[in-house]
Structures are given as C-alpha cells and as structure tokens.
Amino acid sequence: MKILLVNKAYFPHLGGVETVVRQLAEGMQRRGHEVTVLCFGDRDISERIDGVEVRRTCPMGHIGSAPVGFRFVKEFSRLSKWADVINIHSPNPMGEFALLLSRSLRGKKIICTYHGDAQRPKFFLPAHDATLRRFFRRCDAIAVSNPPLLENSRVLGTNHVKEKTCIIPLGVRTENYAKHRDSDAREARSLLASMPASFKVMYAGRMVYYKGISVLLDALRKMKSQRHKVSAFLIGSGPEEKDIRSFIVNNAMERDIIILPHQPEGVYRALFSFADCFVLPSTHQTEAFGIVLAEAMASGLPIISTELGTGTSWVNLDGETGIVVPPRDSNALAEAISYLSSHDAERKAMAAESLARARLFFEEDAMLEAYEGLFKRGGKEIADRNGVCPKHA
C-alpha cells in the first residue's frame, strides 16, 4: 500500500500526536508499505527521516496553535493522487480543509485518527466543529484511542459517526522500557546525581498550559513545607518553562526539582527507572490519552493522573494502576504523592498492575496490526484484539 499520513508536525518536533504519527510511519514501512508524511515545518522541504519520506510546507500563519497555509493544500492534492490510503490526524484544520476541497479521491481509503476535541481558540470552535462533521462524512473510518473520548466528544456523538468509529489504543514498545543499555543508565543516573535521596516524582512532556505543571509544583511546595522527603524531575520544554523555573527559584527548591531538556531516546527511557512514581497533572481535556502514561506504565511505575473525562482515567485505573485526583487540586495531588511515598506495599502492587496493563492494552505492535487492518479494509471487519474493537457499544 501507498500510505499518506497527514499531521500538523512530525519528528524531530516532539509531542504525543507526533509520536503516534512517527510510530505509524516507521511501523508501516517496516511492514512493507510505502509511506509519506505531509506536515508543516519551518520551510518547504522534502527529506527522508529513518527511511520515511517527509514533506514539510511552511505555514502562512496560525489559528490558535494550528498552522495554516495554502501550499499545504496544494501538496495534499498532489500526494493524495499517489496514495492508496490517506490517514489524517485530527484536529488539524488544514488537513480537514484540504480533504474537503479534494474532488479526485475515488478509490482512496480515507482514515481519520481523531485525537480529541480542540479547546482553543474558543471563537473558532463552532466553525471548526461544523467543518469536522462534514469531514467525518468523507471518511471511511475514524479511529480513536479510548472509549471515553468516543462517548464524551462534542463532535463524535452522532450515530452516523459512531458507526464508522473504532477504538485503537495507542501503544509503546514495552520491551524497550524493561532493559536499558549500561551507557544510557549511567547517563540517566548522572543527570539526577544532584537530587537528594528521597521519593522521586517524574513528569515528562511539553511545558504548556494544559499539562498542569504549576499544580504539581504547588503540591511539591506544600509537601516541602510539611517536611516530606520528596523530589521531582521534569523532562521537557515549552512556553511555560520560564515560569516554572521562576517558581523553583522563588521557593528555594533548586535541589528538590530538576528540569531536564529532551533526552536521546535510550536515556529518556532509562530515566523512568529512577523514578518512584509518574505524575501527569493535566488540567484540560486537550489531554485526551497521554501516551506518556503508557510509557510510564511500561516502566512499571504507579501513576497519578487527573480526572478529565477523557482517556487518562481509562489508561490509569484509580486504585489499580495508580491514583486519579481532581484537576487543579494541589492538595489532593500532594496527598496522592504522600500516600505512595508512605505505603510501599500498595505502591509496589500498583506498579505491578501498571506494567501488566501496559503489556495487555498498550503494545505498539497491537496498535500497528490494528491500523494495518484498518488501512487494508477501510474500516470493515476490524479484528477485536487486546482491547481493540470495531466500535464501542
């Protein structure tokens, strides 16, 4: 098959959706398919990354965080003639618009991977939601990562849409988190060498508004004032980083909280093994799944996440694989961290359940197999395997 993957960005740009698109691109290529990725970039360029053809176009501007540009539409038109399968990752206004403008897609399989309802900018949401509903009518199948997203989405609720929707959980290669090269483990250990001997909390991801890092910082500040021996390391970067660093300095927590930039993949995976728990304190429904949760679970870590009405509380089961707390509640978050730090047996039991659930539901190979079937059959007869189902009844 010739597969065109369409997204706003692609590696080396980092993010949850970008991780999934890269997994699909490289995974489908390993399975013998031709793959091209269409996305935005700093300039117009065609390049090959790990064997995958990547076509980037420079945007004219942005609506909220979504890039826009008519060269993208022109490139979509050209590449869609080549492709047998077009997999558009949404929300992505230009990808959706480009499809709706196309008239020569007869015989093409149109697959949407829907990652979650857009939340900003609010003035644009009604128009975008209406566009999405038209876009879904053009799709042969729509894949979502978890049942709560299908049930609670603003735009997936109609029977017509649900009939063509399947649930394919996101996945990771759990084996990559079980063992680490000695050099990667040494580098990870050296990065954390200045941290005090204490219960270590880990966060990884972009430093953006909806991740709720400020809530985690406030929880850690309160725990320090109560003399809890807890420290944290945060991996990532983004527009909130300056404020995060200022908070750490203003509260004299430089030794207690370390910020690490993005790491090479082997070192990144090894860092999970030095944590005692993983926290994803997201505050907005923009966090629809949290693939980093699957990474942490594959590392055998108990999880603390927030109840958003999205897939995060389906990935992390409260009381089984970790603890779910209300969003924006630093007191509840501090209590959850304190509980895990002071209840060793319960923490180890949650860690074991976390790893077992990752291996059962969130294996990358299962995700790739389900998508390959979807691409081949265009939404018909999707195999029910490891939590992957034709539709959520």
Mean pLDDT, range 146-174, rounded to an integer: 91
On the question of a common fold for 2-171+363-377 and 174-361, the answer reads yes
Interstrand relation of 61-63 and 66-68 (parallel, antiparallel or unpaired)? antiparallel
- pLDDT score for 66: 87
- Which residue type, as a one-letter code, is found at position 384? D
Nearest to 324 by CA among 182, 314, 271: 314
In this predicted structure, the answer to whether residue 381 has a pLDDT above a threshold of 70 is: no
Mean pLDDT, range 325-334, rounded to an integer: 98
Euclidean distance between CA atoms 24 and 78, whole angstroms: 21
Binned at pLDDT 50, 70 and 90, residue 160 comes out as: confident
CATH topology of domain 174-361: Rossmann fold (3.40.50)
Interstrand relation of 52-57 and 45-49 (parallel, antiparallel or unpaired)? antiparallel
pTM of the model: 0.91
Contact 71, 40 (CB under 8 A): no
In this predicted structure, the answer to whether residue 383 has a pLDDT above a threshold of 90 is: no
Give me 163's structure tokens.
């009939």
Beta partners for 109? 85
Euclidean distance between CA atoms 209 and 198, whole angstroms: 28
In this predicted structure, the answer to whether residue 387 has a pLDDT above a threshold of 60 is: no
pLDDT in tens, 10-23: 999 989 999 999 99
Nearest to 46 by CA among 33, 30, 59, 57: 57
pLDDT in tens, 259-317: 999 999 999 999 999 999 999 999 999 999 999 999 999 999 999 999 999 999 999 99
Euclidean distance between CA atoms 140 and 111, whole angstroms: 6
- pLDDT score for 384: 41
E-assigned strand segments in 178-317? 199-204, 230-235, 257-260, 277-280, 303-306
Euclidean distance between CA atoms 349 and 158, whole angstroms: 40
HSE, CB side, 13 Å, CA atoms: give it for residue 251: 19
DSSP type of residue 206: -
In this predicted structure, the answer to whether residue 8 has a pLDDT above a threshold of 90 is: yes
Contact 267, 188 (CB under 8 A): yes
In this predicted structure, the answer to whether residue 191 has a pLDDT above a threshold of 80 is: yes
Q: How far is CA 388 from CA 291, 360, 376, in A?
A: 16, 11, 16
Give me 65's structure tokens.
């965080």
- The domain segmentation of the chain, as residue ranges, is 2-171+363-377, 174-361
Q: Which residues contact 175 (CB under 8 A, 6 or more apart)?
A: none
User: Rg of the Cα trace of the chain?
Assistant: 21
Instruction: Return mean pLDDT, the chain.
Output: 93
CATH label, 2-171+363-377, candidates 3.90.550.10, 2.40.50.140, 3.40.50.2000, 3.30.365.10:
3.40.50.2000
Q: Which bin fits 280, alpha (ψ -120 to 50), beta or left (φ > 0)?
A: beta
